[in-house]
Amino acid sequence: MKFSLRRNKDKAPATGRRHAPRRQWPGLWLLAGICLFVVGLLAGLYLFFPEEVLKQRIIQESEARTGTQLEIEQLALYPLLTFDFERLKINVTGLPRPLEIDELKIAPLWSSLLSDPGARLQAKLMSGTLAGIVQKSGALSVGAAGLRFDLPLQEPLPCNITGTVSEAQLDTATRLDRETKTSFNLRLSDVMIIGLASLDPDNKGIPLGEITLQGDGQGRSMQIKSLTAKGGVLDLSGEGNLLVGRTAAASRMGITLLVSPGTNPNPTITSMLQLAGEADADGRYTLRISGTLAKPVLKSGE
């Protein structure tokens, strides 16, 4: 009898039973725990960020690894791991003066976090802006606009070249291996040579106008597909190649130029141009630039 009652009870209709609560997915608790941990970590970094300690560590690492001397006036950390540097000064061997950056922001490149981690850079300097992306694989992409420059030169004659980087774009890698592909575009405006008294006795400056450069390459071998200048004392167009070395003295080039007097001709420069030989039917003279970036050699194309 007891056996019969137990069987009947087990076969009771489902509608008369009380359902046990469903078990929740354990992954939700794990995800929630990770989120809380990340939020707590970011909050801790933000509230107790060791600014002075990190500044000194960055300065020491930069000098030890690259030989570059840094000066950082202020460093701050904002949410989502964005570092903000203000009034940063970089002393690089070979540059005539330190590079001064008014503001530099560095943030993780979240979109590639799981594939190729990287960082996004944004800087304000030289009255213009610069933005770039660098990734763990070495991929590097940099663009700039509105950069005012004043570059002092000592050879072949002491002078200053001034102007504005109106637009620049470089896509390459941090290491120029054989497989590395590079492309670059550069547009300079209002370029002027200052300080050549023999060619500019009134010291008004020698205008070169707008200069554009476009090319690409693979490894350390670069092809200059187009080099032009217009709107100054000379109009020119050219092409050539550049072999990039570890320094300017180790980088060699070979460029052929077709040059003619420009819209703002300088009588002295025009007469010197005529020493390059005979002009072609369009009034253009052929010049060749060879040697290294540190010591270029200009010769007649004849």
pLDDT tens, per residue, the chain with 302 residues: 444 444 444 444 444 444 445 444 455 555 565 555 555 655 565 555 677 777 888 888 878 877 778 888 888 877 777 888 899 898 877 677 888 999 999 988 888 778 888 899 999 999 999 999 999 888 999 999 999 999 887 766 788 999 999 999 999 998 888 889 999 999 999 999 998 888 887 788 899 999 999 999 999 999 999 999 999 999 999 999 999 988 878 899 999 999 999 888 888 888 888 887 888 888 899 999 999 987 888 888 65
C-alpha–C-alpha distance, residues 39 and 47, integer Å: 12
Q: What angle do CA 254, 259, 260 make, to 5 degrees?
A: 175
Task: Establish whether the linkage from the previous residue to 50 is cis, with ω within 30° of 0.
Answer: no
Provide the pLDDT for residue 38. Answer: 57
Q: Tell me the C-alpha to C-alpha distance, in Å, between residue 107 and each of 35, 57, 104, 184, 213.
A: 20, 18, 10, 24, 31
Report the sign of the C-alpha dihedral through residues 170, 173, 175, 181, in that order.
Answer: negative
Asked if 225 contacts 209 with a C-beta cutoff of 8 angstroms, the reply is no
C-alpha–C-alpha distance, residues 207 and 191, integer Å: 6
pTM: 0.78
Tokens for 246, please give them: 């570890």
